[in-house]
Structure 1
Amino acid sequence: MMKQLVFTIVFLFFFSFAFAQIPHGDLDNYKREWIALEENARPLIGIRSFTVMGSKYYLIVDPMTLETRIVDSKLLKVRSRDSVQVNKSLNGTVYERCFSIVRKTENNLQDAGLNFRLPKESGINLTIDLCPSHKPLDKDIFEDVLSAFKGLDSTLPLAVSVSGKWLLNHPDDLAWLKSLEKKGIEITWINHTYDHVFNSKPLVSNFLLSPGTDLSYEILANEKLMLKNGLMPSVFFRCPGLVSDRAIIEKLLSFGLIAVGSDAWLAKGQPVHNGSIVLIHGNGNEELGVRDFIKLLQTEADAIKAKHWTLYSLSEGLEQYPN
């Protein structure tokens, strides 16, 4: 009995900081929520709930900062479960602004969502996709970032879009990525679906538009796997191939997720500007994109040293972007 109590206390302590390796079987009834919550008078939105050893938890979003956390339900006050009231509670928040921005491009076949340069930024928003691959992680990307900013910035934000099939096949690479936090790299973990469906058909029948694709499963299964591996799912989502349609974007929004596109996919030769959302693949399958990114760091070396060019978090600057 005492042994079980000690285990429970230790588990909950680490889980509260989102670093626990959560056994898949211990995370039960993981499901979508859309609920207005409150923590110490601070409004929050619950987008997922689940139980661990009989205790209920929420994956919450701060609607002003877009930060996500896991919080014990006993520490939260339920303000409303009515979807209309929950939506009203978002008025004037950054979260609401993101929904509005995303809906402007939801009819795009490719690159819907946040796909633009963010204003007032001197630098880029770096996003690195990890699609399924048997090749090792391109560690050069991260090592060159650390080298370029050595002695200049204590925190270097970037985003990694991770697929479930990549996670399952790269435990050592994942451990290495997680270790980078000690060196100052702050990773925003983006859901990139569990299976990352791909076929040889045209885009209208490919990726998430492939017949029979279950988007709910792709979202929730990957989030559960991320949590199991100690990764905090962010509010962002990257569609495989950047391919979607209106129905997909609306479903993502119903799950509280913000689609992230790119205005600078380097392997496609798209130019980089200040505030660009840069896309490269770090799964060993995009040598050109990685090479172009390293060249970009070299080109901006003087600006980096002068602190005139840096890396930004995806959540920065969105409050300034016009609806």
Structure 2
Amino acid sequence: MFVLLFCARLASAATAYGANAPCAPVEIAPSATPAASRVKEYAPVFESCASASGSTRLAVRRMSVDGTPLILTVDPQSLHTSLERAACWRCEATSDTAQAATRYLQALHPQQDPTRPPALVNAGLIHGAGGGAFVTGDLCPSRKSLDRAFFEELAARGPRTPVMLAVSGGWLARHGADFAWLREKARSGALDIAWANHSYSHPYVRRLPDGRNFFLRPGVDVDREIFETEKLIIAHGETPSVFFRFPGLVADAALLENIRSRHLIALGADSWLALGLRPRPGSIVLVHPNGNEPIGIKLFLRLMQTGAMPLPLRPINEAP
């Protein structure tokens, strides 16, 4: 009887989220209800999880969405993330040391020259493995419309063209229609979008030096900047990836360690197009399709049309 009741509860939860199988990955239906009312008990964890079918994942967040307990999981080899029903997984606490042999932890803690401190600007992974290019777009807070022509050009390259979008909570709060349009591009198979975190408020003061700006400003609550954005992405129907891009690409060693403690991979770029940094094989390319940096978009379109962009365009999960 207990088993029957348990399965009935799972089936009910699956119906609420539009899934056919009780233990399939969860798809959250977007709603006008505020994220704070839907996504609750949000907490960072690091757990090794196994399902009844023998699948294994690492859980990095626990939460309740619309009253259903969920976990945000990472495949430790592919870096693919998914939202799963907590009731479908058996989890126990683990550590970075215990998972050190996985591709995920090796990407999280890359080998570095101990005599060279991390650069203040362009913190994190800035160049990917292999050839081609990794196209990334930052959606910083903006009052301007999404540059949809950029995405149409990407989609014209063929089905499921990959792009990583680093989303700020401030942008998402203002651009629900643009976000829904991007989701439809992904669901139609036109684009393969990885959703990265670009902080909630994207703190910035004009003319203030980098060393006292962005996340290095006094009083920045790093956990709030991370988790509020993740909760917004989830409430709008998408799954956060394992990547985080610092506002302005600015961070010191302490911030890098903070981000890693939340099991996020810091991502920079060696080809910020608007700064005149041309891409080469393996480049992580950065543009701003939020309307704030049209010159970068123009340069991207020119590089694509002239064949100067390294190809193929590759998913960001392949970069580390």
TM-score by length of 2: 0.87
Q: CA deviation at 1:291?
A: 0.6
Instruction: Return the offset for 1:242.
Output: 0.1
Match of 2:191 in 1: 185
Q: How big is the shift at 1:53?
A: 5.0
Instruction: Name the CA distance, whole Å, in 1 between partners of 2:38 and 2:145.
Output: 30
Residue 64 (str. 1) matches residue 77 (str. 2): yes
Q: In structure 2, what is the equivalent of residue 208 of structure 1? A: 215
Partner of 1:31: 43
1:48 alignment partner, SS class: strand
Q: Distance in 2 between matches of 1:6 and 1:62?
A: 24
Deviation at residue 65 of structure 1 after TM alignment: 0.6
Distance 1:130 1:60 in 2: 24
Distance 1:5 1:258, change over 3 A: closer
3-state SS, counterpart of residue 166 of structure 1: helix
Question: Which of the two has greater helix per residue?
Answer: 1
Partner of 2:201: 195
Q: Which residue of 1 is the match for residue 255 of structure 2?
A: 248
Residues 9, 94 of structure 1: alpha-carbon distance in 2 compared, 3 angstrom cutoff: closer
> Residue type matched to 2:191 in 1?
I
Moved more, 235-244 or 24-33: 24-33
Alignment of 1:119-134 (within 5 A): 119=130, 121=131, 123-134=132-143
Matched, 1:266 2:273: yes
The aligned counterpart of 1:321 is none
- Within 1, Cα distance between the matches of 2:38 and 2:147? 33
Matches within 5 A, 1:97-246: 97-101=106-110, 107-119=118-130, 121=131, 123-147=132-156, 149=157, 153-181=158-186, 182-200=188-206, 201-246=208-253
Give the C-alpha shift of residue 256 in structure 1.
0.7
Kept in 1, the 8 Å contact 2:127–2:319? The answer is no
| Matched residue type, 1:46 | A
The aligned counterpart of 1:314 is: 316
- The 4+ residue runs of structure 1 with deviation greater than 4 A are 4-9, 102-106
**1: distance between equivalents of 2:150 and 2:66?**
40
CA pair 54-20 structure 1, distance change in 2 beyond 3 A: closer
- For 2:119, the aligned partner's letter is N
CA gap 1:47/1:289 in 2 versus in 1, 3 angstroms: same
Residues 18-54 of structure 1: per-residue CA shift (max 9 Å, x gap):
3422642132111111112122333321111012354
Is the 1:237–1:260 contact (alpha carbons within 8 Å) kept by the matching residues of 2?
yes
CA offset at residue 247 of structure 1?
Answer: 1.1
- Post-superposition offset of 1:86: 2.5
Q: CA deviation at 1:199?
A: 0.7
Contact 1:102 1:113 in 2 (8 A): no
In 2, are the aligned partners of 1:102 and 1:259 still within 8 Å (CA)?
no
- Conserved 8 A contact 2:145-2:291: yes
Q: Does 1:10 align with 2:22?
A: no
Check whether the contact 1:38–1:76 (CA below 8 A) recurs between aligned residues.
Answer: yes
Query: In structure 1, what is the Cα distance between the partners aligned to 2:102 and 2:299?
Result: 36
Give the 3 Å change call, closer, same or farther, for CA 165–198 of structure 1 in structure 2.
Answer: same
Instruction: Determine the C-alpha separation between the residues in 2 that align with 1:169 and 1:6.
Output: 35
**Are the structure 2 counterparts of residues 113 and 180 from structure 1 closer, same or farther at C-alpha, using a change threshold of 3 Å?**
same
Check whether the contact 1:61–1:68 (CA below 8 A) recurs between aligned residues. yes
CA distance in 2, matches of 1:12, 1:140: 32
Residue 290, structure 1, aligned to residue 302, structure 2: no
In the TM superposition, residue 238 of structure 1 has moved relative to its aligned partner by 0.6
> Counterparts of 1:206 and 1:231 in 2: how far apart (Å)?
30
Unpaired runs of at least 5, structure 2:
1-8
Q: Which moved more, 1:210-219 or 1:39-48?
A: 39-48
Displacement of 1:7? 7.7
Aligned AA (1:140): A
Q: 2: CA distance between counterparts of 1:165 and 1:103?
A: 33
CA separation in 2, counterparts of 1:241 and 1:7? 44
For 2:139 and 2:319, locate their aligned partners in 1 and report how far apart those are by CA, in whole Å: 25
Q: Is the 8 A contact 2:128 2:318 kept in 1?
A: no
| C-alpha RMSD over aligned residues | 2.3
> Could you tell me how far apart the structure 2 residues matched to 1:64 and 1:312 are?
17
Once the two structures are superposed, residues 221-268 of structure 1 have per-residue CA deviations (whole angstroms, 9 ceiling, x without a partner) of 000011111121000001010001111111111111001100000000
CA pair 102-313 structure 1, distance change in 2 beyond 3 A: farther
Point out where structure 1 has 5 or more consecutive residues left out of the alignment.
319-323
Give the C-alpha shift of residue 198 in structure 1.
0.6
